[in-house]
Copies of this chain bind each other. A is one copy, B any other.
């Protein structure tokens, strides 16, 4: 077995002990709340991690894109929810094939989108399970609360579709300035989701699942009475933003990047061989402040270009060319999508690879 110190850099490494602990802990939290855990596999895109989640008790997987579902179906995962407003007859035809071998549900947030999915299923005499996305204040996709009942009725009437669930994603939690505020966002998300489900039931729609999601808001949202499912993703690896948001401690970060200092031309500046092609250029949350931390040092990555991470060297610190450093990236999901495989490590020794099987599947 290779020592982690012998890996060529940059290397994206995952500490298996931390990963396993993270997977077990979130599952325990969900089980304690009586909520099904359906992790968002976008974070890892990896069959090895998805199997860990399934063994721990996950009820199924969440993904966003049809092509991601195809990858995980090929890998033997048979219960998938696409938490995304999938649109288009070409996608519907692919979903129809997927539904032969997978227990499938798909997000909708518009009547036009719903109709574009229903056609292929109706023509085949089949039914696609759809879940209505409700906007809990993030203002990305999702129907506005005031339009929900009318849209739900219309979607339920689309031939080929069956509406039996709603889902929310309170991404505004990533902008909340304190852990208390993050928890408040999660609690409010749960309240809105449950209230919406009750309004739909009162309108005669059989809403069986109330699904909420995101790692920072998960604990607060799962504890809302009436919530039945939660879809966090990042908790498996965690990252600098999760630590800043209070949803993980530094020792809960399973994914780091080992890099080499390749340039140190001035006392206040050094360059590592990991730039945006390794770390992504995603901003840190809740406050944008560079592109990652150097673990065990005060120095942070102030700028990235594709292959350069420029360290703003903190006073009293020094980096020498050839030195290896460990970086904590801002956003683990974005890092994973840049690499074909992650290096699996336990106790400083390489144990194998985690395959990023669904990397780059955007369609």
Query: Can you offer 30 A-B residue contacts whose CB atoms are under 8 A?
Result: A9-B363, A42-B306, A85-B263, A85-B271, A86-B262, A87-B260, A109-B263, A109-B265, A110-B263, A112-B321, A112-B322, A113-B262, A113-B263, A135-B265, A139-B266, A140-B263, A140-B305, A141-B263, A141-B271, A141-B308, A142-B263, A142-B265, A144-B266, A171-B305, A274-B362, A277-B362, A280-B281, A281-B283, A337-B338, A338-B338
In the complex, what residues of B have CB within 8 A of residue A141's CB? 262-263, 265, 271, 308
Q: Is the CB of A78 closer than 8 A to any CB of chain B?
A: no
Copies held by the complex: 2
Whether the pair B322, A273 counts as a contact (CB closer than 8 A) is no
Closest to A321 in B: B112
Interface string of A67-95 (1 = CB under 8 A from B): 00000000000000000111110110000
Alpha-carbon distance between A122 and B181 when the two chains are bound, in angstroms: 60
Q: Is the CB of A164 closer than 8 A to any CB of chain B?
A: no
Q: Is the CB of A307 closer than 8 A to any CB of chain B?
A: yes
Partner of A281, one of B87, B113, B281, B339: B281
Whether the pair B10, A265 counts as a contact (CB closer than 8 A) is no
Q: Is the CB of A65 closer than 8 A to any CB of chain B?
A: yes
Q: Is the CB of A278 closer than 8 A to any CB of chain B?
A: yes
Q: Looking at the assembled complex, report how far the CB atom of A323 sits from the nearest CB atom of chain B, in whole angstroms.
A: 9
Q: A-side interface residues toward B, CB under 8 Å?
A: 8-11, 42, 64-65, 84-88, 90-91, 109-110, 112-113, 116, 135, 139-144, 147, 171, 260-266, 269, 271, 273-274, 276-278, 280-283, 303, 305-308, 310, 320-322, 333-334, 337-340, 360, 362-363
Whether the pair B113, A322 counts as a contact (CB closer than 8 A) is yes
Answer whether A88 and B260 are a contact pair too, CB < 8 Å, given A64-B307, A276-B282, A308-B141.
yes
Partner of A360, one of B11, B277, B303, B362: B277
In the complex, what residues of B have CB within 8 A of residue A143's CB? 265
Whether the pair A265, B110 counts as a contact (CB closer than 8 A) is yes
Whether the pair B86, A116 counts as a contact (CB closer than 8 A) is no
Residue among A9, A306, A308, A334 facing the most chain B CB atoms (10 A cut-off): A306
Residue among A144, A147, A273, A283 facing the most chain B CB atoms (10 A cut-off): A273
Q: Kindly list 17 other residue pairs between chains A and B, CB separation below 8 angstroms, not including A42-B307, A110-B265, A142-B265.
A: A9-B363, A11-B363, A65-B307, A85-B271, A85-B321, A86-B262, A88-B260, A110-B264, A112-B320, A113-B262, A139-B266, A140-B263, A140-B271, A144-B266, A276-B282, A276-B334, A281-B283
